[in-house]
Structure 1
Amino acid sequence: MKRATPHSTESQPGPSWIVNADDFGMNESVNAAIVQAFHEGWIDSASIMPNQEGFEHACELTLPARLAGRLGVHITLDDGEPLSLPIRSCHRFCDAAGRFHTRRLRRAWRLSASERNVLLQEIICQIQTCQAAGIDPMHLDSHHHYHTSWPVGDVVIEAAQRCRVSMVRINGNLSASSSMATRAFKHFYNRRLRHANLARSDEMGSVPNLLSRRMRLRGVIEVAVHPVPGPGGQLWDAEANRPLADVVSSLIPDRLERVAADKGPSAAKVSRW
């Protein structure tokens, strides 16, 4: 796959890395942590959640933090309220109060025509909400990877094409413990993205999966991190439950060297996994 990957600046032979922070817009503390991670050089891009309480605050931070061209939309279909009206009365997606179900959609293998239509409206609405706030999203992904279910992925591709978003996160494809059926599903899902010229990377996986295969990785590799405030002003990764510096530098030693050069020797005090 030949696709430009902005802000992947590691110079060593081998993979080219995209470190993306998910959950920008979740709340003000997460927003502050993500902006700090940008400033310190640990991350390359972030994905914003337009239906969460911290969205407006995140938008206010983008200009002074110089984040133009480094943001995507973190499509949210299982938390909070939808941004469009039709989907709120669709029981496939929402409860009686019009709020998203929690993780129910992951089990869906097929959507009716009406369900697909309201889902497309909602995803486009989330993208356009970001655009109206002055954010020109360069990629799409989703909260809890909902966009990687087969019927949702089809809708996300159409939304990306309609809204002129150039990249979509692939389905994580590095887990050695996945069944043959799961690996086949991910292969065909990612092939569909590549056929549409939307795949953001060649590989994508969790930090443990990436660490176990780091010496064999090639091409463009995306890793998602979840920065939050930690003790003593230190950034923490909420999913790995470790300092963000440990997570990123364990995968990308050159990133640690770059941060240390910018911040001084104290930045090099990290622990290896």
Structure 2
Amino acid sequence: MQIPKNVLANADDFGYSSSVNKAILLCYERGIINSTSLMTNTEGFYDAVEKIHSNSAITNIGVHVDLAELRPITNIDPFFLNETGGWNISVTGSLMRYFSSAQKDALYKEIVAQVNRAIDQKIFITHIDSHLHLHTLPAFIGIFSQVAKEYRLKLRLAQTYRQGSFTKYLYRYIINQKLIRKELNYSDRFETIEYFLSKYPNSNIARKTELMLHPDLDANGNLVDHYDSNTMIRWLDFLGQPYTS
């Protein structure tokens, strides 16, 4: 089975490692994904760049901005960093965190630098999103929207279905409506594989829906999702695809 019409099956974390890069290329070649988001502050970045330029199957590429795990590429305020020089997720990932104008400017410059690193490698970028979805937090949504508008890129929505807290759902609905009004949205909906498959084919198919995967290869060369193993299993089963490479 092919990926359904109006579905963007996006592979996050392209560039994260050699095995992730191999898995994502394999997924493109087998029609398991049709979109990806590239990390540019990783050891595997240039390997991913080489794969992009040498494989026409890799299309619809975005930047997966990392403000959560690895190291920044600008000389940013140590306030944002942990003791090893990587991002301090307790600072950048805090739901209630707000930043000063100077701090927002520094974060803007880091996001722009990560986007430009891909552009400098002559990669055509269509969208941006973020590692661990930090772009949907109150402190970041405005900065990411600004970058998306300036670079004429689309921006991933927050999760569009209700799961648990109504307050969280309402917040996500409000920011998504703002993105849609500004015509920055990459899709009409953003869902997990599990949620999408629980509704398919009775809903979602008429609207452009983004689904997220994290492809990787295990020690035996089998395709896995390094974030949630059930995600890859269910998606491959849906498409009628084998797990092995």
TM-score by length of 2: 0.89
* Kept after mapping to 1: 8 A contact 2:29/2:57: no
Q: Distance in 1 between matches of 2:139 and 2:63?
A: 19
Q: For 1:249-264, what aligned pairs fall within 5 Å after superposition?
A: 249-250=237-238, 255-256=239-240
Counterpart in the other structure of 2:4: 10
Aligned partners of 1:140 and 1:29: how far apart in 2?
22
Hey, what does 2:104 align to over in structure 1?
116
Q: 2:54: which partner in 1?
A: 64
Matched-pair contact (CA < 8 Å) for 2:11–2:36: yes
Task: State the Cα distance separating 1:19 from its structure 2 match.
Answer: 0.1
TM alignment of 1:114-263, pairs within 5 A:
114-165=102-153, 167-175=154-162, 177-214=163-200, 215-217=202-204, 218-230=206-218, 232-242=220-230, 244=232, 246-250=234-238, 255-256=239-240
Give the deviation of 1:244 after TM superposition.
Answer: 3.0
- Percent sequence identity over matched residues? 25
By how many angstroms is 1:245 displaced?
5.7
Distance 1:90 1:189 in 2: 29
Alignment of 1:59-98 (within 5 A): 59-66=49-56, 69-85=59-75, 87=76, 89-91=77-79, 93-98=80-85
- 1:29 and 2:19 are equivalent in the alignment: yes
**Structure 2: how far apart are the matches of 1:197 and 1:244?**
31
**Residue 177 of structure 2 aligns to which amino acid in structure 1?**
R
Distance 1:138 1:70 in 2: 6
Higher alpha-carbon Rg? 1
Q: Is the 8 A contact 2:194 2:231 kept in 1?
A: no
Structure 1 unmatched runs, 5+: 1-7, 257-266
Residue 111 of structure 1 deviates from its aligned partner by: 1.8
For residue 52 of structure 1, report the CA deviation from its aligned partner. Answer: 0.9
Residue 89 of structure 2 aligns to a residue whose secondary structure is: coil
Q: Which moved more, 1:146-155 or 1:97-106?
A: 97-106
Say whether the 8 Å CA contact 1:146–1:152 is kept in structure 2: yes
* Residue identity opposite 2:4 in structure 1: E
What is the TM-score with the length of structure 1 in the denominator? 0.80
C-alpha contact (below 8 Å) 1:131/1:137 kept by paired residues? yes
Distance 1:245 1:59 in 2: 27
Structure 1: how far apart are the matches of 2:199 and 2:227? 19
CA 103–41 in structure 1, closer or farther in 2 if over 3 Å, else same: farther
Greater alpha carbon shift after TM alignment, 20-29 vs 207-216: 207-216
- Please state how far the C-alpha of 1:94 moved relative to its aligned partner: 1.5
Matched, 1:55 2:45: yes
Deviation at 1:184, TM superposition (A): 1.0
Letter in 2 for 1:10: P
For structure 2, which runs of at least 5 residues remain unmatched after alignment?
A: none
Amino acid at match of 2:216: V
Q: How many residues align?
A: 239
Write out per-residue CA displacement over residues 92-131 of structure 1, whole angstroms, 9 at most, x where no aligned residue. Answer: x223554211353222442210111000000000000000
